[in-house]
Structure 1
Amino acid sequence: MEKDTKINYDYVKGHRKRVKEKFLKTGFDNWQDYEILEFALFFVIPRKDTKQTAKELLKKFGSFKELVNADYNDLVKACKETEGISINTAFFFYFLKAFSTKYSELKVKPKEKVSSPQDVVEFLKNEIGLCSEENLYAVFLDASNKVLKFKRITKGTTSRSAVYPEEIAKESLNAGKTRSVIIAHNHPGGVCKPSQNDIIATEAVQKALKTIAVVLLDHIIVTDTDYYSFKDNGLI
């Protein structure tokens, strides 16, 4: 029995080394979802082949995207139901999502200059692109387009008919030296085309900001894979 265990560990050790070398050479180019998940599990499951575990988790959640975006409680439940892993694995995946969001957030951290909508799009995709309900963010910029602050204005809103233009104007004043604002929200349905309510709400925000001499620079709609810029499409 001890011999079999050693043989198995030697195999796992060698396999993990090959996977890590492959990652260093190619990144995740042409990897299947279960391979990426298998690799991630290396860091929380020692001395064990994680390929089957990765496939079981993907089966439970339906897709890699759904797993990554899963609620912590759902991750815990799935881990408890999967042999050979603990809730520490759930915590690890929840941490990875937060870490990814924090990394993309660096592009819009205070004092960084925003030169185009793309500078904030990746952060927004990670932060709200996969949310099942609509959320609204605002980025406040000074005269040089440097970020003064960014803030979630609403969370879990199901209708874009109420965008709280007064709240955005108030936050603009609180930020100090605000000269322009970018607002953004997600579309849970996965389609980035603006609704009539989106257009009406944008006009309301423009008017509210105009009263305090602040310009609405753009309104961006995001999903996890795409975005729509009001400015790029001539709506601002």
Structure 2
Amino acid sequence: MTANRAFQEASPLLFGFVPAEDDCLSAPPQAAPDGKAARLPSYIADHRARLRDRFMQGGAGAMPDYELLELILFRAVPRQDMKPVARRLLDRFGDFNRVLSADPTQLTQIEGVGPAIVAELKIVEAAAQRLARSRVINRPVLTSWDALLDYCHTTMAHGAIEQFRVLYLDRKNVLIADDEQARGTVDHVPVYPREIVRRALDLNASAMILVHNHPSGDPTPSAADIDMTRQIVAAAGTMGITVHDHLIIGKSRELSFRSTGLL
């Protein structure tokens, strides 16, 4: 599942029950020079209403990335045109998914982006990840493989640094734990096979799936990736624990060690 798709599915909760004047819920109205509450300019209000209607009728597929971002930004900044900010975010980070997963410090370096916008973006990112996770946790992973890949892409494909996760499975190959073992740099993450196996024993896991991302976008495994996988397989094997696969997540595709004969 991409973040766009998760956003579309979660959108009724975010936008479906919002009244026309909902923008006042995000921040208090600015005071006009005469002391009265300033109203949203009609051209901005009309634009926001059109975007909401189009989204609810056609979903995310009917909208480009910058308009999806506008829908989020509307809630954070109630009385400004958000299109320039949305375009600046996309110019800096590349696409909708990378904007959502960007580091908060990097986000605040963009003109017009403050704490309220960062919070809204991170709420949507968390909602997308939680929705994707709900489709795989406590379910047989090997018969829900597409959902598992969606989850891995949603949580890891657009990260700026490498993450290494281990999905622990019980005897029926039901996912019982999803652990982020380590975070590293743009091209390296430290992995400790003993800790991975120890955690499996604590969980009484019978199998595992290894997952890590390549921020470069290219999921081709390095020599270090292959060597590390072999070490984990050997360590797990001494305890009777199976490593079903090692997935490397790129920006738009993944590589499976098992499918490519590396495992």
TM-score by length of 2: 0.76
Question: Would the aligned equivalents of 1:126 and 1:224 in 2 still touch at CA under 8 Å?
Answer: no
* CA deviation profile, 1:42-93 (whole Å, cap 9, x unmatched): 2222244322332244345455444222211222332xx32xx642112211
Instruction: Name the structure 1 match of 2:130.
Output: 102
After TM superposition, the structure 1 = structure 2 runs for residues 81-160 of structure 1, keeping only pairs within 5 Å, are 81-82=111-112, 86-109=114-137, 111-114=138-141, 115-156=143-184, 158-159=187-188
Unaligned runs of 5+ residues in structure 1 are none
Q: Report the count of equivalent residues.
A: 226
The yes-or-no answer on 1:217 pairing with 2:244 is yes
Shift of 1:36: 1.6
1:234–1:62 Cα change, 3 Å: closer
Q: Which runs of no fewer than 5 residues in structure 2 stay unpaired?
A: 1-31
Indicate which of 83, 86, 90 corresponds to 1:54. 86
Q: Are the counterparts in 2 of residues 140 and 180 from structure 1 also a CA contact under 8 Å?
A: yes
What SS class does the counterpart of residue 112 from structure 1 fall into?
coil
Give the percent of matched residue pairs that are identical in Structure 1 and Structure 2: 28
Contact residue 157 and residue 251 of structure 2 kept, 8 A? yes
Q: What's the counterpart of residue 198 of structure 1?
A: 225
Judge conservation of contact 2:132–2:147 (CA < 8 Å) in 1: no
Q: Which amino acid aligns with 1:223?
A: G
Q: Deviations over 1:170-219 (max 9, x none)?
A: 1110112x111101111122111222222222221111111111111111
| Cα distance change, pair 179–62 in 1 and its aligned pair in 2 (3 A) | closer
Partner secondary structure for residue 42 of structure 1: helix
Contact 2:247 2:255 in 1 (8 A): yes
TM-score normalised per structure 1: 0.83
